[in-house]
């Protein structure tokens, strides 16, 4: 089985090392094509206004001056296998430092890497490790490292529906504290992004985007609740964003 790895935290991210360890429990044909620098929050964006450059880091490992989406396209179309005609069987994106749940998956470069793989007709899975930020970042990488291999072995036996990826989030706890693994739907946060206005030494304003608002209320069956309960959240995500339930109402309103 040939596996392509990517991420949005960049080629030097520790989560990518963890992902490679996980992938090697599944296969010895592992390829890595990851962004040269951190691309967090760039979602499913493409680089169209300037050329991409690919740097060979080591055997079967490349850093690309672009987004996770660029990396998957470069990997599938050009880098992986050197044009040997052998297809990629699985795309794994992550392991992201931080959860990718709720409506925030729309911003996620990690999910976007898996999204591009799904659009190219390849089974694709995004993996993220939740953590709490308390003056410093301490990510419980061993949770994903330990729990992911067996979960992935079960998931890759499935026939994924067309244009569907799986978004996996590991809770912020030790491996032995994981309650179980649950299939969830995407939750909804009750807060969004705000602006933190600051002033530099020359009196010029600059701004940081920041997450604001209260924690969401209980949403049983969602990825948000699953992580809160120390459960691994497995969420099927599809590319069709049509609001099918509203089609009839919208169509009727335009017929008049």
pLDDT on residue 186: 96
**Superfamily of domain 2-187+217-255 in the CATH hierarchy:** Survival protein SurE-like phosphatase/nucleotidase (3.40.1210.10)
Average pLDDT over all residues of the chain: 94
Contact 131, 97 (CB under 8 A): yes
pLDDT digits (tens, 9 = 90+) for 150-188: 999 999 999 999 999 999 999 999 999 999 999 999 999
Q: In residues, how long is the chain?
A: 256
Domain ranges of the chain: 2-187+217-255
Dist CA 35 CA 23 (whole Å): 18
Q: What is the pLDDT of residues 25-68, one digit of tens each?
A: 999 999 999 999 999 999 999 999 999 999 999 999 999 999 99
Read off the DSSP letter of residue 105.
Answer: G
Cis peptide before 95 (omega within 30 of 0): yes
Q: CA–CA separation, 166 vs 148, rounded Å?
A: 13
pLDDT digit string, tens, across residues 210-233? 877 666 778 999 999 999 999 999
- Collapsing DSSP to helix, strand or coil, 245 comes out as helix
Contact 22, 95 (CB under 8 A): yes
Task: Give the whole-angstrom CA distance, residue 167 versus residue 233.
Answer: 8
More confident residue, 5 or 194: 5
Q: Is a pLDDT exceeding 80 seen at residue 192?
A: no
Cis peptide before 183 (omega within 30 of 0): no
Please calculate the CA angle 65-68-74 and round it to the nearest 5 degrees: 65
């Amino acid at each position: 089985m040939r596996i392509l790895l990517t991420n949005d935290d960049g080629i030097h991210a520790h989560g990518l090392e963890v992902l490679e360890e996980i992938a090697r429990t599944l296969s010895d044909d592992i390829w890595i094509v990851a962004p040269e620098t951190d691309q967090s929050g760039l979602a499913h964006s493409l680089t169209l206004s300037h050329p991409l450059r690919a740097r060979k880091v080591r055997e079967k490992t490349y850093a690309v001056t672009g987004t996770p989406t660029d990396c998957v396209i470069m990997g599938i179309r050009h880098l992986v296998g050197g044009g040997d005609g052998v297809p990629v069987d699985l795309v794994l994106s992550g392991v992201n430092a931080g959860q990718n749940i709720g409506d925030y998956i729309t911003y996620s470069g990690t999910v976007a890497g898996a999204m591009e793989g799904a659009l190219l007709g390849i089974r694709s899975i995004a993996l993220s490790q939740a953590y709490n930020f308390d003056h410093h970042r301490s990510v419980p990488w061993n949770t994903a490292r330990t729990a992911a291999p067996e979960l992935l072995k079960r998931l890759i036996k499935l026939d994924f529906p067309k244009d569907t990826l799986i978004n996996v989030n590991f809770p912020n706890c030790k491996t032995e504290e994981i309650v179980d693994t649950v299939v969830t739907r995407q939750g909804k946060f009750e807060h969004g992004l705000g602006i933190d206005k600051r002033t530099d030494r020359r009196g010029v304003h600059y701004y940081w985007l920041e997450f604001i608002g209260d924690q969401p209320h209980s949403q049983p069956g969602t990825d948000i609740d699953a992580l809160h309960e120390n459960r691994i959240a497995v969420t099927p995500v599809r590319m069709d964003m049509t609001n099918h339930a509203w089609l009839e109402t919208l169509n009727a309103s335009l017929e008049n």
